[in-house]
Amino acid sequence: MNEQCPRCQNVGKMIDVHGHYQCSVCGSVIEDCCNGEICSPKKQKTFFLKVKVETVEGLFALSYDNYFQIEADTLSEAKEKATEKIYKWLNIEIEEYQPEEDNCL
């Protein structure tokens, strides 16, 4: 890269030092390494998951499949995210109770 150095006015080859260009004579930085660019995070992998949900209650049994497209770093992380989505979708509420309060027992 032949340019004129704005500092020493030398016309010559600019050298690459750690990602930026500087004058080979005076060492002045001619072009910064990033020029305002920003670092973007690593792109996550796309997992396509089929989640089978089965419920059995008395004589009734339900089974259905759900399909999710999940962005995650690993398969186990993708499974966790799919599980969270299923729980939100099913609107499951869990609370503690005392057996003596249950009239069905």
Quick: pLDDT tens for 46-76: 999 988 878 777 667 778 788 889 999 999 9
Mean residue pLDDT of the chain comes to 79
Determine the pLDDT at residue 40: 65
Determine the pLDDT at residue 86: 81
Beta strand residue intervals within the chain, DSSP E: 2-4, 11-17, 20-23, 29-31, 45-57, 60-72
**Per the structure block, which two tokens stand in for 105?**
């027992």
Query: What pTM did the predictor assign?
Result: 0.44
- C-alpha 15/C-alpha 23 separation (Å) is 6
* C-beta of residue 29 within 8 angstroms of C-beta of residue 22: yes
Q: Is the pLDDT of residue 81 over 80?
A: yes
